[in-house]
Amino acid sequence: MFRLFPLGGTDVFTPLARFLIRPIPSIQEKFNQFKLKHFGKYTLGLQIRRIGINKLSKEQEDIFLQCAASTQIEEASTLPEEDIKWFLATDNYETRNRTVREYGSKMAIRNVPIGRGDFEGVEGI
For residue 100, is it within any domain?
Answer: yes
d(CA 48, CA 55): 8
pLDDT tens for 31-46 read 889 989 999 888 888 9
pLDDT of 76: 81
For residue 58, is it within any domain?
Answer: yes
Rounded mean pLDDT of 17-30?
82
For residue 6, is it within any domain?
Answer: no
pLDDT of 75: 79
Phi, psi (deg, nearest 5) at residue 88: -115, 130
Kindly indicate the confidence band of residue 3, based on its pLDDT and cuts at 50, 70 and 90. low
Rounded mean pLDDT of 92-120?
84
pLDDT of 1 over the 70 cut: no
- Determine contact, residues 111/97, Cβ cutoff 8 Å: no
pLDDT of 15 over the 70 cut: yes
Instruction: Please count the structural domains in the chain.
Output: 1
Shortest CA distance to 117 belongs to which of 85, 97, 78, 91? 91
For residue 97, is it within any domain?
Answer: yes
For residue 16, is it within any domain?
Answer: no
pLDDT of 94 over the 90 cut: yes
For residue 18, is it within any domain?
Answer: no
The chain-wide mean pLDDT, for the chain, equals 82
Q: Which domain holds residue 102?
A: 40-112
pLDDT of 31: 85
Rounded mean pLDDT of 5-18?
68
- Determine contact, residues 73/44, Cβ cutoff 8 Å: no
For residue 64, is it within any domain?
Answer: yes
Instruction: Look at the pTM and tell me if it is higher than 0.75.
Output: no
For residue 33, is it within any domain?
Answer: no
